Amino acid sequence: MVATALAGCQSTQNSEALGYLSEPYECAAPMVEQSQDLRIYQVMVESFVNGDDSIGHGTGYGTSHHKGDLQGVIDSLDYIQSLGMNAIWLTPIFNSIPDEGQNHWADRLDATGYFTSDYFSIDPRFGDMDKARELVEAAHAKGMYVFLDGVFGHHKDNIVPSPQGRLPAGDSNPVDYPESLAFYQEVASYWVKELKIDGWRLDQAYQVPLPAWKALRKSVDQASQSVTYQNAEGESVHPLGYMVAEIWNNENYITRTGYGPEKDPALCSAFDFPVRYRVVETFAVNENSNGAKGGEWLAEGMKLHDLYPPHAKPNLMLGNHDLVRFGDLLQRGNIAKPDQAEYWARHRAALSFLGAYNGPITLYYGEEVGDEVPNFADKASSDICALQGYCDDHVARSSAKIDGVTAQLNPQQTELRNYVASLMALREQHPAIVHGKRTSVLATDAVYVDHKQKGDDALLYMVSTQAKANMLTLKAADIASEGALVDLQTQARFTPVNGEYQIPLSGFQARFLEIEKPSSIGVTVETAAVVLTGKGFMAQCDNPTVAEAGPKTETMYVVGDFADSGWKHKDNRAYSYKGDNTYQVVVDEVAGAYRMQYATKDWSPQYTAEGLELKLGQEKTLEFGGYGKDTAVTLPVAGRYVWSLKFSDQGSPRQIMVSKCAE
């Protein structure tokens, strides 16, 4: 349904005359296959490592030294390689030329590189072209890909023409397409040819229209096929040509603005922000302090990958330079501090999920040592947080702790670092983890279990989602096993008794269990039927609107990240009074996972569901809401749904429900 709408929307735009491609351009199969194995280490250059004290910005957002440079990355390559990472993503390293007399805020923004002036030169405060080439060549020699950060939707006002005399068109943020396409094609191709980089991370990818992404992707592919370099085995290879989009939103929005339709792909990979939020909400809290989720929450998020077109290859991360570090989220939720064992156990659990993910993954520097920003956890006041370095969107830009380079790790940090390295080794050694077919075996409040298999390589990934110890019982027939299960990290063996395995899990423990003798029958897990339609007055879609006054005087709306509204109050989402203190609105919805609140146009009052989650057809308590207190709900199929709110005679919130309309 989404793909059809996208195709129709683009049909009037795609033409060779605009620089766009009139025919579909498929995702390159070799690139897709190789990119599945990516284990990317993200570096925020200005905050990472000071390798050359004669240069550096000396200012920026966040709490770091702000003296990071390319030499610092080179000095850290052995460490990154020792983690088992096989790729590096550098935040923008192009020259952000200071305007005469610019203020300190502009200086800080220049240090990020995300508003570039000259896309064809290296920021001298990071290094120069020779140093950039040295970094790329050294990384390639160690078997690591290198990705640069492509900001193809906005730039600094003092933009410098390309070597071919091109400039982007329109405003500086965002630029105009298709008029800017040729300029950014030149940028994307230039660095592949000049430094032989392996592709791009794509900043704010939603700023660039789908037809332009298709053309840019083809330019990167062509540039990659035009050059070669020597890899760690001494083989002559082409740059990978991988491109991954940053789009913070739900699965439908990522498809609509990044992946494009099934028969006309735009981009082939995007960061898996939806699952990232589910992981932190399970093992810590999100940036708005919402958490306490379990294995069902994780399984639902993975199931929602079905909403993506077949060419989509999501890339999972726990954090990045714009998010709060996992260690600080644990403290924001008053869950655990670095001097407590649970702090490290929850880190291992979250990182194990990253390690078990099908497809490419990205690790933000510092996550492998459980890093946090001391004396920061709660949201800082917006009027002072930038000066303190404590704003949520940049607090994670702290100085890197690189063992043997900038720091000596303590025992807990060393243990976690070694655990991460063991996860990366498992991903490299077991194709089932990265490339295998994933089947959800069990998902409860307490545990998450997947079966993964590729050929004869079969295993179980399981992780406890609670602090309490658990004895997990699994039937051999359900997991397609006819022999022992072997823990790939501890070598513990589990054999079935009367056709069942008993597997102990301590709080937040994860296990990767190799199935020594996979059954030819395959996994036989039964999927429970999903309830879509509730019962009673609040589930009825044909209740007539009544003329009498209800307990609420102002019109309320269901407001969320829906495709047709994008957090705006829309008339088709306005509630009507149905009597019995109940308000309802019936809406045609697209399948997907959504977050929303229920509010008047001035957002006062606003409401949310108890526990910030709804199950279809089930009543839940309605509560007063507020910023960040969004209700989450998954609509597994498209159709007509009724959104219901019930109040007391005095207008106090009582119940809430969403239900699919009966056929």
Percent of the chain's residues with pLDDT above 90: 92
Is the domain of 381 the same as that of 444? no
CB-based contacts of 444-447 (< 8 A; 24+ apart in sequence): 444/294, 444/295, 444/296, 445/294, 445/295, 445/296, 446/294, 446/295, 446/470, 447/295, 447/472, 447/505
Query: Can you tell me the distance from the alpha carbon of 502 to that of 216, in angstroms, rounded to the nearest whole number?
Result: 52
Asked if residue 5 has pLDDT above 60, the reply is no
User: What's the number of domains the chain is made of?
Assistant: 3
| CATH number for position 151 | 3.20.20.80
Structure tokens at 583: 């308000």
Return the ∠ at Cα 29 (arms to 25 and 35), rounded to 5°.
115
CB-based contacts of 333-340 (< 8 A; 24+ apart in sequence): 333/284, 333/285, 333/289, 333/291, 335/284, 335/285, 335/291, 338/370, 338/372, 338/412
Residue-level pLDDT at 148: 98
Across 336-361, average pLDDT: 98
Query: Can you tell me the distance from the alpha carbon of 499 to that of 199, in angstroms, rounded to the nearest whole number?
Result: 49
Query: Can you tell me the distance from the alpha carbon of 436 to that of 593, in angstroms, rounded to the nearest whole number?
Result: 25
pLDDT band per the 50, 70, 90 thresholds, residue 356: very high
| CATH number for position 497 | 2.60.40.1180
CA-based Rg of the chain, rounded to a whole angstrom?
A: 26
Is the domain of 463 the same as that of 366? no
Return the ∠ at Cα 625 (arms to 623 and 629), rounded to 5°.
115
Is the domain of 395 the same as that of 469? no
Which of 429, 464, 492 finishes a domain?
429
Q: Give the structural domain span for 162.
A: 28-429
Query: Can you tell me the distance from the alpha carbon of 95 to that of 635, in angstroms, rounded to the nearest whole number?
Result: 45
pLDDT band per the 50, 70, 90 thresholds, residue 17: low
Query: Can you tell me the distance from the alpha carbon of 576 to that of 557, in angstroms, rounded to the nearest whole number?
Result: 9
Residue-level pLDDT at 8: 37
Tokens 């399981």 correspond to what residue?
A: 462
pLDDT tens across 520-542, in order? 888 877 666 678 999 999 999 99
Is the domain of 113 the same as that of 187? yes
Query: Can you tell me the distance from the alpha carbon of 586 to that of 640, in angstroms, rounded to the nearest whole number?
Result: 7
Which of 429, 447, 477 finishes a domain?
429
In a domain, 16, yes or no: no
Is the domain of 90 the same as that of 227? yes
Residue-level pLDDT at 172: 96
In a domain, 106, yes or no: yes
| CATH number for position 551 | 2.60.40
Q: What is the mean pLDDT of the chain?
A: 94
Identify the bridge partners of residue 589 per DSSP, sorted by sequence position: 639
| CA distance to 201, 204, 267, per residue, from 241 (Å) | 11, 19, 12
Residue-level pLDDT at 4: 35
Is the domain of 452 the same as that of 331? no
In a domain, 349, yes or no: yes
Q: Please check whether residue 563 is in contact with residue 591, taking contact to mean a CB–CB distance below 8 angstroms.
A: no
Asked if residue 614 has pLDDT above 80, the reply is yes
pLDDT tens across 53-85, in order? 999 999 999 999 999 999 999 999 999 999 999
Kindly give, in sequence order, each residue whose CB lies less than 8 Å from that of residue 306, ignoring residues fewer than 6 positions away. none
Tokens 């001391």 correspond to what residue?
A: 374
Is the domain of 411 the same as that of 554? no
pLDDT band per the 50, 70, 90 thresholds, residue 339: very high
In a domain, 531, yes or no: no
pLDDT tens across 269-301, in order? 999 999 999 999 999 999 999 999 999 999 999
pLDDT band per the 50, 70, 90 thresholds, residue 41: very high
**Bond prior to 124 in cis (omega within 30° of 0):** no
Which of 373, 406, 429 finishes a domain?
429
Is the domain of 378 the same as that of 256? yes
Query: Can you tell me the distance from the alpha carbon of 516 to that of 589, in angstroms, rounded to the nearest whole number?
Result: 45
pLDDT tens across 501-519, in order? 999 999 999 999 999 999 9
Q: Please check whether residue 581 is in contact with residue 550, taking contact to mean a CB–CB distance below 8 angstroms.
A: yes
Residue-level pLDDT at 85: 98
In a domain, 526, yes or no: no
Q: What percent of the residues of the chain are helix, what percent strand, and what percent coil, each to the nearest 5? A: 30, 25, 50
- Least confident range of 22-26, 47-51, 132-136, 314-318: 22-26
Query: Can you tell me the distance from the alpha carbon of 398 to that of 406, in angstroms, rounded to the nearest whole number?
Result: 13
Across 217-231, average pLDDT: 98
pLDDT tens across 178-209, in order? 999 999 999 999 999 999 999 999 999 999 99
Residue-level pLDDT at 377: 81
In a domain, 520, yes or no: no
Using alpha carbons, select from 322, 320, 327, 309 the residue that is nearest to residue 266: 309
Across 325-346, average pLDDT: 97
Is the domain of 331 the same as that of 447? no
Q: How many CA atoms lie within 13 A of 540 on its CB side?
A: 9
Per DSSP, helices labelled H in 196-236 are: 210-225
Is the domain of 365 the same as that of 493? no
Is the domain of 278 the same as that of 336? yes
Residue-level pLDDT at 520: 86
Across 400-421, average pLDDT: 97
Tokens 């702290």 correspond to what residue?
A: 398
Is the domain of 594 the same as that of 473? no
Three-state SS across 490-552? Answer: CCCEECCECCEEEEEECCCCEEEEEECCECCCCCCCCCCCCCCCCCCHHHCCCCCCCCCCCCC
Q: Please check whether residue 132 is in contact with residue 93, taking contact to mean a CB–CB distance below 8 angstroms.
A: yes
In a domain, 530, yes or no: no
Asked if residue 340 has pLDDT above 50, the reply is yes
SS3 289: coil
In a domain, 553, yes or no: yes
pLDDT band per the 50, 70, 90 thresholds, residue 6: very low
Q: Please check whether residue 660 is in contact with residue 614, taking contact to mean a CB–CB distance below 8 angstroms.
A: no
Residue-level pLDDT at 531: 82
Kindly give, in sequence order, each residue whose CB lies less than 8 Å from that of residue 412, ignoring residues fewer than 6 positions away. 338, 344, 370
Residue-level pLDDT at 526: 65
